[in-house]
Structure 1
């Protein structure tokens, strides 16, 4: 995944209708994500040696001395935004393509949360309860699965995260992700979003995480 190029959306803007509207997808990808990429590029132009890190390692470096203080905030916010959205687009897909978690992922969910319903309840609570802007995550943490949330464009790869791990599934709960369609009804957006989760990709992310690799 390029640090300085906007990845194409892997489907049409309207592919997630009626759960996520086409206008939101176009603005979200072409404007918001593009801005994060452009801001990362501008920050790295000042310290071109960091371009060799790659998107994952750049995020892992947030909050450490590897990122110069001059660009620390820009990299935290925009490097995080670039990674988060690059993952987000892939874990969604056309509603008719939703086949559910693999046997392996379902077993891990049952072991960690008790059941699929309990996992969704915990994930939904993390998403709905995130004050202001941020994300909800399913991560692999020390050999097990966990649900967490982060503020703004932070993510569990970053050293400043309260709970660290490898992201498997993420949900954007910034208002720009849902406000055109759902206004202030964030729980309604969260409930609808499960209809567009691309479990095939989430299953792949889980397999990578078991190997200690970070999906992007």
Structure 2
């Protein structure tokens, strides 16, 4: 059942308020700017609806976290990206294209678009990359994983290690670059689409896991490795296989 008329519990309000003082500058900007007002006429980017209900990934990803993550955190990135690009010709571009053109933006806009455009792009991808009860049936992607990591189990181990060792907030990715698959990580809301010079990583994303605390803390608390292992139960391998085929 999809939750409606959601009210954040008072206890969570207190936790968020207490934690805000310890957030890094990027995270503080996300929290403090959540109420940015953007005229309706200038709204270009919108929050994509989930292709499933908030509780569809139970018991692996809980419904409460999914609703907060989607309707609160992702909405903040959308709102602030629209504010940053209001009236700009860049606002007509798909967000995945915008984040590849950060160096073409005015210097005063680059940080906001990197953070919030990256957040919008990464999360839009993340939601599509989740689905319960799919298996890796594509011979193309499966063969490539086994070729580049020696086995699927070895790939999982390497991906889990990469995701668990991201310091602070960020993402772990399986990407395709130069004909091969690779596991990379990025900080904050950086995307491999931004390239090595900006994100310290590059490639075409095949799967991606959000390891910001807001993605897992309500259910898993500080046990990020447990959240990472739960991810294998909800990876949309059909979507991943499609993206792998598109990357050729």
TM-score higher than 0.5 here? yes
Which of 200, 204, 222 is matched with 1:166 structurally? 204
1:172-194 superposed Cα distances (whole Å, 9 cap, x missing partner): 00000000000000000000111
For residues 131 and 101 of structure 1, the distance between their equivalents in structure 2, rounded to whole angstroms, comes to: 33
8 Å Cα contact 2:44-2:92 kept in structure 1: no
1:71-108 superposed Cα distances (whole Å, 9 cap, x missing partner): 111000000000000010011112xx312241110111
8 Å Cα contact 2:187-2:199 kept in structure 1: no
Matched, 1:23 2:23: no
Over alpha carbons, which structure has the higher Rg?
A: 2
Q: Report the CA distance between 1:162 and its aligned residue.
A: 1.7
TM-score by length of 1: 0.92
In the other structure, the counterpart of 1:122 is 158
For residues 86 and 76 of structure 1, the distance between their equivalents in structure 2, rounded to whole angstroms, comes to: 15
Aligned pairs, how many?
204
Which of 114, 117, 127 is matched with 1:76 structurally? 114
For residues 64 and 235 of structure 2, the distance between their equivalents in structure 1, rounded to whole angstroms, comes to: 19
For residues 200 and 179 of structure 2, the distance between their equivalents in structure 1, rounded to whole angstroms, comes to: 17
In the other structure, the counterpart of 1:186 is 224
- Structure with more relative contact order (C-alpha pairs < 8 Å, separation 6 or more): 1
For residues 235 and 45 of structure 2, the distance between their equivalents in structure 1, rounded to whole angstroms, comes to: 27
Which of 190, 197, 209 is matched with 1:154 structurally? 190
8 Å Cα contact 2:78-2:120 kept in structure 1: yes
8 Å Cα contact 1:3-1:54 kept in structure 2: no
For residues 67 and 180 of structure 1, the distance between their equivalents in structure 2, rounded to whole angstroms, comes to: 37
**Structure 1 residue ranges without an equivalent (≥5):** 211-216
8 Å Cα contact 1:93-1:198 kept in structure 2: yes
Which of 72, 80, 84 is matched with 1:43 structurally? 84
Q: Report the CA distance between 1:3 and its aligned residue.
A: 5.2
In the other structure, the counterpart of 2:50 is 9
RMSD: 1.2
Stretches of 4+ moved more than 3 A in 1? Answer: none
**Structure 2 residue ranges without an equivalent (≥5):** 1-42
8 Å Cα contact 1:3-1:37 kept in structure 2: no
Question: Greater CA deviation, 201-210 or 36-45?
Answer: 201-210
